[in-house]
Copies of this chain bind each other. A is one copy, B any other.
Amino acid sequence: MIRINENYQKLQASYLFADIARRVREFQAQNPGREIIRLGIGDVTRALPPACIAAMHQAVDELASETTFRGYGPEQGYDFLREAIAEHDFRARGAEIAADEVFVSDGAKCDTGNIQEIFAADARVAVPDPVYPVYVDTNVMAGRTGTASDGRYPGLTYLECNAANGYVPRLPDQPVDLIYLCFPNNPTGATASRAQLQAWVDYARAHRALILFDAAYEAFIRDPALPHSIYEIPGAREVAIEFRSYSKTAGFTGVRCAYTVVPKSCLAWDAEGKAVELHALWNRRHTTKFNGVSYPVQRAAAAVYSPAGQIQVRELIDGYLKNAAYIREALGGLGFQCTGGDDSPYIWVNTGRDSWEFFDLLLQRAGVVCTPGAGFGRCGQGHVRISAFNSFDNVRTAMDRISAALK
C-alpha cells in the first residue's frame, strides 16, 4: 500500500493571501465603484529592461535556425552567465567567488526550498520570525519538526526580530546547525550591517553551523556602508551559501532566473566527522533533479550585466525606491515607526494594534491593500508590510487616502 509523506499533514494551511483576497473581494462587492490600490503582494509591475527584451528576442531567433539551435545546456548554467555573475556581483565587490561556484536556477524560492535536502534529517534549524514561509514549510515537509502548536513548530529555533533589536535577530542561545538569514529582509525590509553579519559568520565558524543567506533583494541596497553579499564578510566562504534572484532586480518574476552560490570551501560533516564539500553535494542534487534554465532566459539575465542593462536595472529599482521612500515618509509623518524602505522595497509598519484590524482599517477607510504581519509569524503581529511595487501615482494616491483616513 502506497503511503504518503506524513510530514505534509503537519503543514499548517496558509490562509494569508487567500484571506486577503476574500476580504478584498467582499469589500469590492460592497463598494463597487471604489478603486482599490494593492500594496500587498511582492510582485513587480514594470516592464522588463529593454536590454533583456533584446537579448531574449535574439536568443529565440537562434533557436529558430538549425545552425544556431541549442538543446540541453549545462544544468549549472551557461558559462557566459556564470562568468558575468562571478565578475559583476562578487569579484567587483571584493568577494572571491569563482564562476563554477555559481549554480543558475529558475528561482530563489526553488533553491531556498531545495537546499535543505543535502543536510541531515536531524539538523537543528533556525529561522527568523517573521519569516518567508518557504524556509519553514520545506523543513516541515522534510520531517525536521513536530506538529505545530500556537503557530510554531517544535524543533525549529525561532530568531525573533522585533523593534527592540531593529528586526535583526540576535545570535541563538541554543546550538543550531542551519541558519536562514534574509537581508534586505522580506517582510521587514531590515538590512544587516557588516558588523552584524560578521557576528553571524563568527558564530557559524565557532559552532560549525551553516548560514543560508537569502539576498534576493540585494539590488535595493543604496547605502554604501551595507554589504551586498555575505562573501564580503571575512570567513564567510567556509560557512555560507548565498541565494540571489533576478525577480526583483530586473523584473524577472514571470521570466524565472536566479542563482545560488556554493563556495568550494564550504563544508559539512558526515557521521564519522569527516568533512564533505557542499559544492559537490549540491552539484549532484542540481544535476540529478534539474535540467537548466531556459536558454533565452539565461541570455536575458546576462544582459542585466551589459552597460545598458546596468543603467536600466538601476532606473527600474530607483523607481521602486522612490515609492518606498514616499511610503516611509508618509507613514512616519502619521506617527508610525517603520523599518525598511531605504534599501528595500518593503516598509514594515509597527501599527500598535492587531495586524488584521489595521489591514481592515486601511482597506475599509482608504481602499488600500497591505499584508498583515501576523501572516509571517508570531513576531509579525502588530505590524503590516507595505510594498513599493506599484506606480508612483498609485503610491501617492494610496498615501493620501491613508493620511485622510487616519488623521
Contacts and interface: CB of A to CB of B under 8 A. Distances in A.
Interface residues of A, number: 79
Contacts of A178: 2
A120 B3 contact: yes
A8 B281 contact: yes
Given A2-B177, A114-B289, A120-B5, A69 B46 contact: yes
Given A71-B253, A256-B294, A284-B11, A119 B3 contact: yes
A213 to B, nearest CB: 14
A270 B3 contact: yes
A285 interface: yes
Contacts of A2: 119-120, 123, 177-178, 208-210, 268-269
A254 B73 contact: yes
A36 interface: no
A291 B46 contact: no
A270 B6 contact: yes
A347 to B, nearest CB: 19
Contacts of A377: none
Contacts of A107: 290-291
B121 A295 contact: no
Interface string A127-143: 00000011001100101
A137 B288 CA distance: 7
Copies of this chain: 2
A60 to B, nearest CB: 5
Contacts of A297: 294, 297
Interface in A5-41: 5-6, 8-9, 11
Contacts of A61: 53
B72 A48 contact: no
A255 to B, nearest CB: 5
A291 B119 contact: no
A392 to B, nearest CB: 12
A235 to B, nearest CB: 15
Given A2-B208, A118-B8, A109 B289 contact: yes
14 contacts: A1-B269, A3-B269, A4-B278, A5-B117, A8-B285, A45-B66, A45-B69, A47-B64, A56-B296, A63-B255, A71-B253, A110-B290, A113-B290, A294-B297
Q: Which 10 A-B pairs have the closest CB atoms?
A: A113-B289, A3-B120, A43-B71, A71-B253, A1-B208, A2-B177, A2-B210, A107-B291, A254-B295, A53-B64
